[in-house]
Chain A
């Protein structure tokens, strides 16, 4: 049975400045429930590719289709709704709001949700996610009381709140020590294996790439080499 492509990128081109090649004619398919690691040197376009798939960057040529949605055809408001309910973001710097508790940080995406879900249902979901990522006891503490690893776990819970189809992670272990980074990688592997979550991780970390089911290596101008990891 042929796998369903969750992400289809066709002939993607992106330049920040004229004559500066970032992504040139990138073609990519990511199937449902894949755990993909995108590696490459700095400036090879990894994060740019992730931003485009996540709908954070809409200034490009070519076609990007995620879960049947052609992103270039969406209005700005539709892109906002797409980011809210179809993708979850995990950043290297966590980007937790320091004035909100961990639980409030996890609940943040629900504030922008257009649906009619009840607030208490989101709260239950957020508490369950905090428990799943292992920081349930920190729910009412503020991020500055948490270690880097714990903060990243809260950020992962936040990314999962709206039950997205796709989890996009930009250097999620880049600010963590080895032990915390290992825990986070285990968490991603668990999410992928147990929940069938499609995960795309941009990383320099070889351990992350080893855990992924597929690795895409970007060279200059988005020339891709693919490798299958065991």
Chain B
């Protein structure tokens, strides 16, 4: 039988027995809906958790230390920093693409600013670290640069910020920077803003928690890029921590990065080296508090981690592995439940087909008597099941999509904001749709396989002449 004729038989049969097929496909539709719903939910949650909360593209290596508890104090034993030699050793580990040292600012720092957006200036203690600009090159807004601040030389005197260009400001302060402290107070000159990066976590915590306590407006992360404020190095809200020297700078937010410090600001590494040298001498610029290790592929992370630990370093637990595991297990549980629903539906389809074939045995017998091969009968039945599968799969995915829209709508308008609240909890990509439809077709055809084989064996002599 030609393919065209086969499809004519299939469509004719589907139209004639549409009620049976609709009833039998309810189970498949439900199962496929559950399957694609949970898959898309898992993908959406993974995107937020592993893409924003725990980005797992890199490893954070820290010195190995042992904490000994003495009353309320924990004493750290072992190294507290990584040397250049450590960096070289880690760089030599196979499959490590690049190593980026990080250095914490070891002097207190206070930030002042925010009036432009918040109505009042905030004064808060700032934690900060320095990072290799190469690690975050892709995260910096295109109109800015993330590099050690160049200094105009000879210094250009000024009276207003406009005289200092887009990336500079007119600095006139009683305490000049460490580089220029020999200059006379009152001499105003142009300086560049120090570029800083922030983590999305910071905005999430501000929008989710801090703003509520202080009745501040919610911040739009993209809008605050380019915003500047003051920092006073050596100053602290903890009085006894204040340094004898204080230095005043202006910083400018140039982007957000997954690699940036969660609760603090991230400077170009050379800037932090200069800060630390200023307070602790030249040696302070030679040791690092951690290194970020980039690996060729995600699946090499476990092996690289093991090698680095064998070298005597620790891998900082970002929580990503545990989060990833929990998501994976939860997803698997729901997918298995969905597959059980689809499987039960396939059994239901089998029963419906056995019943239909009993009803249609004269028709099938006649087709055999008129020249249909067994394979023709088998393929007509399987084709019907395949078509029911395609339609059930599409309906299941559409229902899952509609359900996700309802949930997103409820979340958007009726669920209070919380950190990392996504605009959508679901990611429906082509993979979900194709897999769901293929699964539906597969289970429908599986359910119809035995009935199709039985139909192919219908004895035309018995059903047509009663012999």
Contact = CB atoms under 8 A, between A and B. Distances in A.
Contacts of A83: 368-371
A205 interface: no
Contact of A48 (B366, B375, B460, B467): B467
A112 B16 contact: no
A143 B375 CA distance: 28
Contact of B367 (A92, A112, A113): A112
A142 to B, nearest CB: 13
A95 B464 contact: yes
Contacts of B9: 111
Given A111-B1, A112-B367, A56 B464 contact: yes
Contacts of A50: 465
A51 B374 contact: no
Interface in A83-129: 83-85, 89, 91-93, 95, 97, 99, 108-109, 111-113
B461 A97 contact: no
Interface residues of B, number: 27
A108 B367 CA distance: 8
B373 A80 contact: yes
B376 interface: yes
A141 interface: no
Contacts, number: 72
Question: By CB atoms of chain B within 10 A, which of A56, A92, A93, A108 has the most?
Answer: A56
A89 B1 CA distance: 19
A45 B8 CA distance: 38
Nearest to A78: B373
Contact of A84 (B366, B371, B460): B371
B104 to A, nearest CB: 80
A57 B464 contact: no
Interface in A134-177: 158, 162, 170
B372 interface: yes
A77 interface: yes
Interface in B219-245: none
A145 to B, nearest CB: 18
Interface in B427-467: 459-461, 464-467
A207 interface: no
A47 interface: yes
B12 interface: yes
Given A47-B467, A56-B464, A85 B371 contact: yes
A116 to B, nearest CB: 10
A178 interface: no
Interface in B343-383: 362-363, 366-376
A195 B368 CA distance: 27
A137 B199 CA distance: 82
A112 B362 contact: no
A57 B461 contact: yes
A80 B464 contact: no
A17 to B, nearest CB: 13
A81 interface: yes
Interface in A185-218: none
B309 to A, nearest CB: 66
A77 B371 CA distance: 9
B5 interface: yes
Contacts of A225: none
A38 B368 CA distance: 24
A111 B5 contact: yes
A56 B369 contact: yes
A89 B369 contact: yes
Nearest to B371: A84
A87 B371 CA distance: 10
A56 B368 CA distance: 8
Nearest to A100: B12
Contacts of B2: 111
Contact of A97 (B8, B366, B375, B467): B366
B370 A109 contact: yes
A76 B369 contact: no
A138 B371 CA distance: 25
A56 B367 CA distance: 12
A75 B338 CA distance: 44
Contacts of B363: 97
Contact of A170 (B8, B366, B375, B465): B465
A119 B436 CA distance: 38
A81 B465 contact: no
Contacts of B369: 54, 56, 83, 89
A57 B371 contact: no
B461 to A, nearest CB: 4
B12 A99 contact: yes
A57 B461 CA distance: 6
Contacts of A109: 370-371
Nearest to A91: B464
Nearest to A55: B369
Contacts of A81: 371
Contacts of B8: 111
A84 B5 CA distance: 15
20 contacts: A51-B461, A56-B368, A56-B369, A56-B464, A57-B459, A76-B373, A77-B373, A80-B372, A83-B370, A85-B371, A89-B370, A89-B464, A92-B465, A93-B464, A108-B370, A109-B370, A111-B5, A112-B370, A112-B373, A162-B371
8 closest A-B pairs by CB: A84-B371, A112-B371, A56-B461, A51-B461, A109-B370, A111-B5, A57-B461, A80-B373
Interface of B: 1-2, 5, 8-9, 12, 16, 362-363, 366-376, 459-461, 464-467
Given A83-B369, A111-B2, 10 more contacts: A47-B467, A76-B373, A80-B368, A91-B465, A97-B366, A99-B16, A109-B370, A111-B8, A112-B373, A170-B465
